[in-house]
Structure 1
Amino acid sequence: MERKSRFSQWLRRPRSGAGGDRDTGALAGSAREDLLLSAAAAGFPLAPAAHPSGYGCSCDRIGCPTPARHPVSFAWQTQATADIEQVTQWLRNQPEANFITATGIVHDVLDVPADAGRLALDRLGAAGVEVGPVATTSADLQPSRMLFFTATRGTPEDEDEWWPCELDCHPETMDEHPGLRWHCRGSYVLVPPARLPGDGTVAWLLGPERPLPDPLTLLEALTDAMGQFAGTDQDQHPAWPMGR
């Protein structure tokens, strides 16, 4: 029997505007919880993250370089869980928190500039290739990104076959690698819905109920699209991490 998606149920749910702003806010909060619990139900390991505070970050770090983009706890890798009760408790106790999902456990994420992602998505669709969940990110003064969620290749039986994400760059140092990033073991991404300072958001384009594809089925289309958009900057910022 095909699994019912909470995400799909939420999209079909009738919405009433009779209650004014308070009901609208409650509905938005309920929808947010539904989406995050749908990600947990799909097996994504979640952990609380910082959230916007004014134009900055809710953490106590002065001049936080990645406002609202990082986990709350340094122990996020062991804290991350798909347990519905635990995620629900976090949602109740930290109602403004964003959430990250740890990669390299259940899923990896192929993270590309949005223009290249849209081109690859069109090509994959035309070729009849099934893609999994896809999210989009937008942030003030930063290029938009597209996140392709795939099955993980980060926990093979042969430990020599995997690399930690640090060989690419740390999760919070996106500017070090503006091309394609493969988030695997030791990395994370914000899981939708998430708020960023200003009007930035992280949102689902294709929901978390979709089956996770093998990353290699998407990689060629993504790297080809990256090559088209890299232009003259490709030599300085290669689309694929080098030196592996």
Structure 2
Amino acid sequence: MSAEFGGRTGRQGKISQWLRGRRPKEAVGDDGREALLLAAAGVGLPLAPAAYPTADFRCSCDRVGCPTPARHPLSFAWQTQSTTDRGQIERWARHQPQANFITATGMVHDVLDVPLEVGREALERLLDAGIEVGPVAESDDGRLLFFTLTRGTPEDEDEWWPCELDCHPETMDEHPGLRWHCRGSYVLVPPARLPGDNQSVHWVRGLEHPLPDPLTLLEVLTDACARYIGEEPDHANAAWPSRR
């Protein structure tokens, strides 16, 4: 299911080897695709069908000049449609064999989404420091996705604190560094295909790794992203405030 880094013994060598060049991606057949989707639902990630790339590297949707080809849900009702129900996901996967799937964030999990170079550096630092890292997916459009526990979805809006890093589908371009996908956002869940030759979203650390608290990763990720975009990190504004 994932490219394992193993225990602490020999971890540095394995990480360095991975950082020097991605491990070859294995093709995922229909059975493997369905198994990975069901595994994601099995750990609580709510899924919904998404668009997929066509033979001419365009989007399967009928929107002319789609701005996010193969990266968006099929339905505008994706937030209510998203589910972990095994039977429904099996039906979707079998009736729409080419479809990608998104996972709706802010229900069970969030995703900290960073540039690939930044993510690789941060992942090495986190593992070397003995910090628990959960599932991590790599997107061949140049992003690394850290899956974490959610910040929560309280019924009382007064109990919600927005974060300057919060990212929604319509604000993606405003966050070239760290994007925090929480309520109202989504990401493609592996296995997913992107436009281009052999472009995909795939696991580099699988779903057997428990979801961590996002704040345990945030400082390392914001530091790495600040260096990437040439700014000083602002942990005071980036961090999630404590609950009252």
Please give the range of the TM-score, normalised by the shorter of the 2 chains. Answer: 0.7 to 0.9
Mapped partners of 2:31, 2:127: distance in 1: 32
Q: Counterpart of 1:208?
A: 207
User: What TM-score, normalized to structure 1?
Assistant: 0.80
Amino acid at match of 2:174: E
Equivalent residue runs for 1:156-167 within 5 Å:
156=154, 159-163=157-161
For 1:52-86, what per-residue CA distance to the aligned partner results, in whole angstroms no more than 9, with x for missing partners? 01211000111111100000000000000011111
1:177: Cα distance to partner?
A: 1.6
Q: Deviations over 1:159-189 (max 9, x none)?
A: 3342568984432552222111110010000
Moved more, 155-164 or 125-134: 155-164
Rounded Cα–Cα distance in structure 1 between residues aligned with 2:216 and 2:168: 25
d(CA) in 2 for partners of 1:187, 1:33: 23
Matched, 1:57 2:55: no
- Aligned equivalents of 1:33, 1:122: Cα separation in 2: 30
Corresponding residue of 1:97: 99
Aligned residues: 214
Which stretches of structure 1, 4 residues or more, deviate above 4 A after TM superposition?
163-167, 238-242
| 2:177 maps to which of 176, 179, 186 | 179
Cα RMSD of the aligned pairs, angstroms, is 2.7
Q: Distance between the aligned counterparts of 1:165 and 1:56, measured in 2? A: 34
SS of the residue 1:52 aligns to: coil
Contact 2:137/2:201 (<8 A) preserved? yes
Q: Which amino acid aligns with 1:205?
A: V
Aligned partners of 1:151 and 1:169: how far apart in 2? Answer: 16
Q: Percent identity?
A: 69
Contact kept? 2:47, 2:84, Cα under 8 Å: yes
Tell me the secondary structure at the aligned position of residue 225 of structure 1: helix
Structure 2: distance between partners of 1:224 and 1:96: 38
Aligned runs of 1:194-233 on 2, under 5 Å? Answer: 194-199=192-197, 200-231=199-230
Aligned to 1:20: none
Runs (5+) with no aligned partner, structure 2? 3-25
CA distance in 2, matches of 1:164, 1:171: 16
Structure 1, unpaired ranges of 5+: 1-6, 9-23
**Letter aligned with residue 143 of structure 2:** R
AA at the equivalent of 2:223: D
Query: TM-score w.r.t. structure 2 length?
Result: 0.80
Q: Which amino acid aligns with 2:195?
A: P
Contact 1:107 1:149 in 2 (8 A): yes
2:143 aligned residue (132, 145, 166) = 145
With over 3 angstroms needed to count, the CA separation of the structure-2 counterparts of 1:164 and 1:66, relative to structure 1, is farther
Partners of 1:193 and 1:220 lie apart in 2 by 29
Secondary structure of residue in 1 paired with 2:124: helix
**Could you list the per-position Cα deviations for residues 23-55 of structure 1 after superposition, in whole angstroms to 9, with x for gaps in the alignment?**
x98x72211111111111111000000000121
**Larger mean Cα displacement after TM superposition, 116-125 or 27-36:** 27-36
